[in-house]
Homo-oligomer: A and B are copies of this chain.
Amino acid sequence: MTTISKNAQVITFINVFSVEPANQARLVELLARVTDTVVRHAPGFVSSALHRSLDGTRVTMYAQWRTLADYEAMRLDPAPAPLFKEALSIATFAPGSYEVVETFLPGLRSATP
């Protein structure tokens, strides 16, 4: 389970892969394999969650790392490179690094006139 909190001391990556629907299952499999076998064992990895779009055109990885330097060190590791390369042969990649501004939970609407 991944938790999102404003006060967590993490850097968040929301990496959106665009893919032909025919290749979505293969992309999911590649990203799950590289995360399970390599990425999650890297120093500074906190948590990640892999998402499959319902329309088949995207796969999005939501990932938390301790620092940007930890993430960049993993990206330079030769071990996952072949799997990343295979993933990028069937998908385009829009990376993003973020901080959490705020989280919201359900609530009763305030009374208004």
A63-106, CB under 8 A of B: which get 1 and which 0?
A: 00000000000000000000000000000001011111111111
Cα(A35)–Cα(B103), bound, Å:
10
Contact between A97 and B50 (Cβ–Cβ < 8 Å)? no
User: In the complex, what's the smallest C-beta–C-beta distance from A36 to chain B, in angstroms?
Assistant: 6
Residues of B within 8 A of A35 (CB): 102, 104
B14 touches A62 (CB 8 A): yes
Residues A12 and B99 in contact in the complex (CB < 8 Å), given A1-B5, A108-B41: no
Q: Which chain B residues border A99 with CB–CB below 8 Å?
A: 51-52, 54
CA distance A39 to B102 in the complex (A): 14
- Is the pair B96, A58 in contact by a Cβ cutoff of 8 Å? yes
Q: List 14 A-B pairs, Cβ < 8 Å.
A: A2-B3, A4-B49, A35-B102, A40-B104, A41-B106, A41-B108, A41-B109, A46-B106, A51-B101, A53-B98, A55-B97, A58-B96, A58-B98, A60-B96
- In the A-B complex, the 7 residue pairs with the smallest Cβ-Cβ separation, listed nearest first, are A51-B98, A2-B4, A41-B109, A4-B49, A49-B103, A50-B101, A40-B104
